[in-house]
Amino acid sequence: MYLSSSWFGKTIYDSFYNAIVPDKRYLAYIEGLKVTLLISFFAIILGILIGVIVAILKVTATNYKMKWLSKICNIYINVIRGTPLMVQLLIIYNLIFTSRNTNELLVGAVCFGINSGAYVAEIIRSGIESIDRGQMEAGRSLGLNYVTTMRLIILPQAVRNILPALGNEFITLIKETSVASVIAITDLTKAAQYIGSRTWDILPPLIIVALFYLILVMGLSKLLSVFERRMAKSDRS
């Protein structure tokens, strides 16, 4: 034990101090956090939208025996789930947005949204299929049309069943946005790398952003569990 604990403590303190305070480096984290939150938020919204639509199309296609429709849905789901997210990100970035003044943030949000949509679609489909057939029949027998019955009777019950799985998907999404840096988006992870390259000490900024992610995810989990409890108020016997 040649290293005294006070020396050790001071070194750690210094590295973290350097990673945060000089040149207002903390601003870089805040900016990165904003970008991560923005991408996650819009990707989640887009993912839910795509997911609900694809899931309903797929279920409807099965109910009404429209083979071509379920084929299209399956191609989308298989391609997205069968290829790495980073590759999708690079392809979309280089394929569509090749002009100089590309809005990388938009590309990121759209790409993550399309990606998440495939997973959300499968989760929602399983949720819809978990609801007893009698519920649709009861709705239809009262004169409600297919879409209204889906919206007012099937989906609310399906969502309650799949909330935990949906929460997992959103948590995964938030963490996966960390690969956004490959298309020159300065998100939280990129901010850490940037600061590390300035201080020649990559570990402290990485630990700092890891904490940011952890807090984000724990916040989201908390939010979801509150939501779950509220939805469970009409628990079945």
Partner 1 sequence: MIEVKNLKKAFGDHLVLDGIDETIAKGEKVVVIGPSGSGKSTFLRCLNLLEEPSDGEIWFEGNKITDKVVNINQIRQKMGMVFQQFNLFPHLTVLENITLAPTKLGIMTKEEANEKAMELLAKIGLTEKASSYPGKLSGGQKQRIAIIRALAMNPAVMLFDEPTSALDPEMVGEVLELMTSLAEDGLTMVVVTHEMGFAKKVATRVLFMDEGKIVEQNTPVEFFDNPKHPRLQEFLSKVL
As a whole number of Å, the end-to-end CA separation of the chain is 63
* Piece of the chain touching partner 1 by CB under 8 A; list 15-23, 98-106, 117-125, 130-138: 130-138
How far from 107 is each of 28, 184, 235, CA to CA, in Å? 21, 11, 41
Residue type, 54: V
The single residue among 12, 27, 138, 214 that binds partner 1, judged by CB under 8 A, is 138
Closer to partner 1 by CB, 22 or 156: give it: 156
Alpha carbon distances (Å) from 44 to 64, 75, 115, 173, 174: 30, 21, 10, 8, 9
Question: Strand, coil or helix: what is 236?
Answer: coil
Per CB under 8 A, 161 contacts partner 1: no
**140, 196, 221, 227: residue in contact with partner 1 (rule CB under 8 A):** 140
Q: Name which of 23 and 137 has its Cβ closer to partner 1.
A: 137
Q: How far is the CB of 189 from partner 1 (least distance, A)?
A: 40
Q: 3-state SS of 107-139?
A: HHHHHHHHHHHHHHHHHHHHHHHCCCHHHHHHH
* Residue 17: how many other CB atoms lie within 10 Å: 14
Binds partner 1 by CB under 8 A, chosen from 5, 143, 200, 229: 143
CB of 68 to partner 1, least distance (A): 21
With CB under 8 A as the contact rule, which of the stretches 30-38, 117-125, 152-160, 173-181 interacts with partner 1? 152-160
Selected binder of partner 1 within 63, 148, 172, 197 (CB under 8 A): 148
Q: Could you tell me if 52 and 124 are in contact, meaning their C-beta atoms sit under 8 angstroms apart?
A: yes
Q: Does 166 bind partner 1 (CB under 8 A)?
A: no
**228 lies in the binding site for partner 1 (CB under 8 A):** no
Residue 129 in the binding site for partner 1 (CB under 8 A): no
Does 144 bind partner 1 (CB under 8 A)? Our answer is yes
Q: Measured between alpha carbons, how far is 159 from 166 in angstroms, rounded to an integer?
A: 9
Distance CA 187, CA 40 (A): 11
| Binding region for partner 1 (CB under 8 A) out of 149-157, 162-170, 192-200, 214-222 | 149-157
Instruction: Choose between 33 and 154: whose C-beta lies nearer to partner 1.
Output: 154
Q: Which residues fall within 8 angstroms of residue 37, CB to CB, at 6 or more apart?
A: 216
Residue ranges that bind partner 1, judged by CB under 8 A? 132, 134-135, 137-145, 148, 152-153, 156-157, 160, 234-237
